[in-house]
Amino acid sequence: MNIVQQVCRAISILGLITLCTGLQHCNPDYGPSGIYDCLQLDKYDKPQYATCITNSYAEMKTNYRYACKEDVYGERPTYCWNQCMVELHDMTYGHVYNDCACTPGQHVIKYSRTTSTTPLPISEQCYTPTGHDCLWFRDCLNYKYSCDGTDYKELLELGFNFCKIAPETKKKISENGFLWFDNAQKCFQVQMAPVLKQWLHLNCSTVENKATSVRNQCLSKPLGVISLCDLSHDDIWTIFWSIRDSFDKNLVPSILHVMNVIQNCSTSDKESNVTEMRLFFTPTINIHVTNTMIEKFLSKIVTKMSWQKEGIGWFCIFTES
């Protein structure tokens, strides 16, 4: 542990972050992601966890404000150590919060490739997602937290669908649109990834709240790069309908959030040509009406009115009032 502390003390990244490199256990070329340790770092009042992460994850997670320290040849390593307080709270000094605090020497260090007694419950790539592995939502996030909250379920669904349609959608939009989409795709994974930290065992309401804020942030200005409102009218609606079409059902609650963010852009040309059609059910009927029935009913109307042929897209939202 002494090595870790000494190395850490000597290094300061971009004058802001303290990331330690060159440690034998977090190999600059091979990592692996997911190993962690507990150390006392300068400028913090208590010991905290540090994890071995990829440089690209470090950059994305901090909205491209931090990176691993360059090596002696001026190149960034693929992996480096990152302290918990930066990753979870964006704080480079001061008080160590409870979700980062630890007691040095009190835990077994999990070196995923060497210990056989305690295998990592999820694969090492889970800890530093790239945004390109669509199964991350199922195999990493939902594997650790199988919560039932609406916003959480929607984030899993929306994130997965963004990832799934990315190759096709990115071909249809401008450079700016591409930039937004690519960062949104990464954002869902990267901003949710900290809940997977091995020492964190959050309850579902905390995970749900995190999902809500991550969704809003990733839709409006993903990774701080470009705001959805800065995209052209064409890009916005191409993206919106691509997401809509990625669901094979018409009743898609998570689509509503995308729409809300679009309509929240102040310029009127972003406010779409969305026409609302409402179906009302009285409370007594309401309890007998299932989502499947609404789906079927609306699909029939749409077919009858030849909306598809007219190039009119549609989606439906179920609200109770």
Ligand X SMILES: *[C@@H]1O[C@H](CO)[C@@H](O)[C@H](O)[C@H]1NC(C)=O
Interaction site with ligand X (CB under 6 A) = 203, 205-206, 216, 220, 260-261, 264, 269, 273
| CB-nearer residue toward ligand X: 205 or 286 | 205
For residue 312, the minimal CB distance to ligand X (Å) is 11
| CB-nearer residue toward ligand X: 12 or 206 | 206
| CB-nearer residue toward ligand X: 69 or 221 | 221
For residue 209, the minimal CB distance to ligand X (Å) is 9
For residue 99, the minimal CB distance to ligand X (Å) is 8
| CB-nearer residue toward ligand X: 132 or 233 | 233
For residue 306, the minimal CB distance to ligand X (Å) is 17
Task: Give Cα separations from 215 to 94, 155, 276 (angstroms).
Answer: 29, 6, 24
| CB-nearer residue toward ligand X: 105 or 311 | 311
For residue 273, the minimal CB distance to ligand X (Å) is 4
For residue 79, the minimal CB distance to ligand X (Å) is 30
Under a CB-based contact definition with an 8 Å cutoff, are residues 67 and 59 in contact?
Answer: yes
Q: How far apart are CA 175 and CA 195, in angstroms?
A: 32
The residue count for the chain:
321
| CB-nearer residue toward ligand X: 176 or 205 | 205
| CB-nearer residue toward ligand X: 205 or 292 | 205
Q: How far apart are CA 158 and CA 215, in angstroms?
A: 9
For residue 268, the minimal CB distance to ligand X (Å) is 7
